[in-house]
Amino acid sequence: MIASAVAKLDAWRQPVAGAASADGAYKEWMHFCVRLPGAQHGYLLVNLNVSESKVGGLGGRVLRTPRLLALARLERWAGSVETFAEQDAVCAPGRLDVKLGRNALRWRDGAFHLSLAPAAGPAGAGGDVAAAIALRPLVMPTVTSTVSLGPGGVIHWVVIPRLEASGWVQVGGRRVTLDRALAYHDHNWGTFRWGGDLSWEWGFVHPDDARVPWSVVFVRISDGGRHRILSTGALVWRGEQLARMFQNREVALTLTGVHRAAAPPLTIPKLARLLVPGAATGVPASVHLDAGDAAGGGDTLSIDFRTDSKARVALPSDVDPFKLVLLNESCGRATVSGRVQSQRFDFDGAAMMEFVRG
């Protein structure tokens, strides 16, 4: 049942290559996060995406760019962003398979099979992450969620918070083996412009003990200055099934402090490090979420996340040629507690959050 639901709900919506849309604002991506063994806050993050943008202002030419983002952290962060020519990008709407150059995502026998090659370029240019992983969903995906971003803007997503990953990941010269490691996946698509009036915070928590049946995902989407909240949600799974979805006024998210490190975070692509020097990232030291049943049914959720390490991805703004949008990818730890459907839960676990700024 899980496999058939994934095949139906998670399929790609638009071609990766081909003619761009009239307004040049379409975005779509498949996103995976895999817990890596042997590191306190180790994760592999892979994002296969296509992004439209206009070159030369509002009356300019529309480009559709396929990209692959690969970030991994063992002792340190490593990664790259690679773009692909149209002939090297293959994906058919209605299917889950995506091919970007020598990289591929295939859906076979109820699992995603991800093959990740080192990025093209000279040694040391950032192409030092490779992988071959089978990712089998353990829970039911959500149905499509939609948030309006204002006139002409919308974003949709499907989430699978818990998969088991087996295979290998290589970061630099070190290879680690995965044996049913916990992983996360989401699929997003919609029409908006990077650098527009938009920001978000998103995160998930995996329990340290894989026998714990609970999984949580949370998100807040706001305007660019974070003055007006467009949507807030916190989702709780028990076993295979989505047990509770807290929405909007049921959820309060509080960001506290600023995460500081001795050295600037890894920023990719490499050239962007010259444009956004220093350690400032807009990443908080901690995040607290409180959710409660607006109808008084007694369901509750509490999450305390603390940032331990971060890297950032710089994307060119679609609205200002002199600005960048920063996707801050943050590893940490979280404590989760609550009550859903009369069942209490309390666990600690590894967690990731993404903070989009710019």
* Helix H or strand E encompassing 242: strand 241-247
Do 238 and 306 reside in the same domain of the chain?
yes
Mean pLDDT, residues 119-142 taken together: 80
Strands 300-316 and 266-268: parallel
What CATH number is attached to the domain comprising 225? 2.40.370.10
Greatest Cα-to-Cα distance within the chain, rounded to the nearest angstrom: 59
Tokens of 308: 């331990």
Write out pLDDT tens, residues 344-353: 999 999 999 9
**Sequential DSSP letters for 293-335:** -TTSS--EEEEEEEEEEEEEEEEE-SS-TT-EEEEEEEEEEEE
Residues 55 and 203 in one domain: no
Structure tokens at 310: 């971060």
Asked which of 170, 192, 214 is the last residue of a domain, the reply is: 192
Q: Tell me whether the omega of the peptide bond preceding residue 269 falls within 30 degrees of 0, making it cis.
A: yes
- Alpha carbon separation from 275 to 202, 271, 324 (Å, rounded): 25, 7, 8
186-204 mean pLDDT: 93
pTM over 0.75: yes
Are 226 and 325 in the same domain? Answer: yes
Q: Which residues contact 21 (CB under 8 A, 6 or more apart)?
A: 52, 62, 191
List pLDDT tens digits, range 18-64: 777 777 789 999 999 999 987 667 899 999 999 987 665 555 677 88
**Boundary residue ending a domain (164, 192, 220):** 192
Same domain, 56 and 175: yes
Same domain membership, residue 299 and residue 242: yes
Indicate if 352 and 236 belong to the same structural domain.
yes
Q: Are residues 173 and 255 in the same domain?
A: no
Same domain, 234 and 272: yes
Same domain, 223 and 308: yes
Q: What is the pLDDT of residue 60?
A: 63
> Is residue 57 located within the same domain as residue 115?
yes
Contact 334, 303 (CB under 8 A): yes
Helix (H, G, I), strand (E, B) or coil at 174: strand
Q: Please provide the size of the chain in residues.
A: 358
The chain-wide mean pLDDT, for the chain, equals: 90
DSSP state of 274: G
Are 152 and 28 contained in the same domain? yes
Domain end (from 192, 214, 243): 192
Residue 168 and residue 221 in one domain: no
Instruction: Count how many domains the chain has.
Output: 2
In the block, residue with structure tokens 């002199």: 322
Q: Structural domain of residue 87, as residue ranges?
A: 1-192
What CA–CA distance (Å, rounded) separates 79 from 129? 6
Whether the CB-CB separation of 102 and 118 falls below 8 Å is answered with: no
Q: Residue 284 — φ and ψ, nearest 5°?
A: -75, 160
Q: Is the pLDDT of residue 121 over 80?
A: no
* Alpha carbon distance 302, 37 (integer Å): 27
pLDDT over 70 at 126, yes or no: no
Q: By three-state DSSP, how is residue 126 classified?
A: coil
Residue 109's Cβ-count burial label (10 Å; 0-12, 13-18, 19+) is exposed
Q: Mind giving me the DSSP string for 38-55? A: TSTT-EEEEEEEEEEEEE
Instruction: Report the pLDDT value the prediction gives residue 320, as an integer from 0 to 100.
Output: 85
- In contact, 235 and 217? CB cutoff 8 Å: yes
